[in-house]
Structure 1
Amino acid sequence: MKMSRLLAAAALLLSATAARATSSTTFWTPATTYVQPYLVPHLTYDTYVSERSAFQNDYGLTVGVLPFEKLQAEVGIDSFMPGLASTNLYLNAKLGVPEGAFGEWSPGLSGGIYGVGFKSDVSDFDILHAELGKTFPMIGALTVGGYYGLNDKLLVSSSGDVQRAGFMAGWTSPDVVLNLTGLNKINFTADVQTGKNAFGAVGGGIGLYFTPAIDILTGPVFFFDSNATTMLPGPGIRGTGRPDWLWTVQLDVDLDWHKLVPAAAAPKA
């Protein structure tokens, strides 16, 4: 009986639904107004590889922290392994107003910070960002925004020029719902963050949703200054070269613990 309950709970957990199964990024950037739902943990495992080089693996956790309908917030942490503990941890936080909060016309708004490290001269990028987004029929979700880095010693090009601010934009296509066994739906995403620094890149790919809460995003990321990726002490490029692009595979899982709590039984007559 105990084993059957554990299996039932696990099945329910893996089939949990969420507004979106991806983390609060589009593909490479935080150019999305989506915020993780309240008390729903989001787990991510990202790889970026090429034939000669790779980033360290990213293990991330994000969770929503506000219970309000029209004002949402999330906090998260990323660990890039293997690596030194003092330089491979990054914090992030985000506050957002969801699309349609004040009427069908109202866009989504969000702002936050990411790249918050623990060594000011090595890994503490402190990048502020803000976005505005709107979903259109037949087009999908479009988001535009910008960023500004508080640490001008780390947000530089490979030639040493300060590159601490720039433009961000993202796009997510409408869902192509399949409802097949093992493949619930697919969609397509693309985004860009300007600047010849460690974060400046453009990427895009396909999202494969095994359930509404479990998906894999995969596709290429092209860097505007591939040599600047050496400024990332945690996820910095490792290998024998500095490629202009890497291929990424991103596994995302939402864990909606609320689905594991059974509804209260109706009172007997």
Structure 2
Amino acid sequence: MKKRSRIIHRFGVALAAFALCGLTATQASATPSTQIWIPSTDVQAYKTFHLGFDTYIRANSNDDGSRTAPVVVIGPTVGVLPFQKIQAELGFDVISGGGDLDKYPLYFHGKVGTPEDSLFKFSPAVAVGGYNFGTKSGDARNGELATNQNLVYGLVAKTIPVVGRLSAGYFTGNKKVLLNESGGSDENGVLLSWDRTMTEISDKLWLAVDYQGSDSALGALSFGASWAFAKNVSVILGYDIYNEKKTGGENTVTLQLDINFP
């Protein structure tokens, strides 16, 4: 199971960084409880306040020799439903990447979900939600600045003994903002992941691999590891490989600090 099963939640940020390359400035991402990059079926516990602080640093220089500035993301996520079988969370992030999008740094997200075995015996976890609800509307196809990616998604997940947890889902977003390398709309795609707490080594070690489809700035294959330094503090080190360099930019190394209160 993911770290959340032992009360060390992972509520970081899955973001497509502010790479000013290709056809349009790629977007930041204000996200719900995640794996490394994509949303997960985990939901923040009621009245639990999570603070995430994430950085995304380009692993390589751009083709012209320049280097895109790192992206820094900080924001809270809070559990808002007092039920065991139906849970919900809300949150926002402030994102800075050193570009024009910094004028509109606020992004919102939310999620409703049910844990495994809550609907019926052996039922999968189910979650529906939305993220990257930015505050600047526009049509990126016409070169306008915009942050309202407005993604909505659905996910199911099931833990298989020894193997770990497998998740699958689908997302759709704003066709005016999520574009491919040719400038056309590419707002839909699959969500896939595997994650597992490596109890054979330590209950503090968690590994994950996830994938988000589409050739927009959000499309990426990511993998990483987390170590829990305390019952409420964990750090993830990951690597993001973008599906399309012209929209996603150079690959990124991500460091994600997660703290839960209480």
TM-score, structure 2 length as denominator? 0.79
1:109-258 to 2 correspondence within 5 Å?
109-121=126-138, 122-149=146-173, 151-176=174-199, 185-229=204-248, 242-243=249-250, 245-256=251-262
Provide the C-alpha distance between the structure 2 equivalents of 1:66 and 1:160, rounded to a whole number of angstroms.
41
Q: Which runs of 5+ in 1 are unaligned?
A: 1-16, 230-241, 257-269
Deviations 1:229-252 (A, max 9, x none): 4xxxxxxxxxxxx42x11111111
Report deviation, 1:33: 0.8
Report deviation, 1:162: 1.0
Contact kept? 1:138, 1:174, Cα under 8 Å: no
Q: State the identity as a percent.
A: 32
Provide the C-alpha distance between the structure 1 equivalents of 2:208 and 2:252, rounded to a whole number of angstroms.
16
1:102-113 to 2 correspondence within 5 Å?
102-113=119-130
Q: 1:69 aligns with which of 84, 89, 92?
A: 84
Contact kept? 2:112, 2:127, Cα under 8 Å: yes
User: Cα–Cα, structure 1 residues 171 and 130, in superposed 2: closer, same or farther, change >3 Å?
Assistant: same
The residue identity in structure 2 corresponding to 1:254 is: N
Partner of 1:28: 37
Say which SS state the counterpart of residue 227 (structure 1) adopts.
helix
Report deviation, 1:165: 0.5
Q: Which runs of 5+ in 2 are unaligned?
A: 12-32, 62-67, 139-145
The residue identity in structure 2 corresponding to 1:146 is: Y
Aligned positions, number:
221
Say which SS state the counterpart of residue 197 (structure 2) adopts.
coil
TM-score, structure 1 length as denominator? 0.77
Say which SS state the counterpart of residue 173 (structure 1) adopts.
strand
Provide the C-alpha distance between the structure 2 equivalents of 1:40 and 1:104, rounded to a whole number of angstroms.
27
Pairwise CA RMSD of aligned residues?
Answer: 1.9
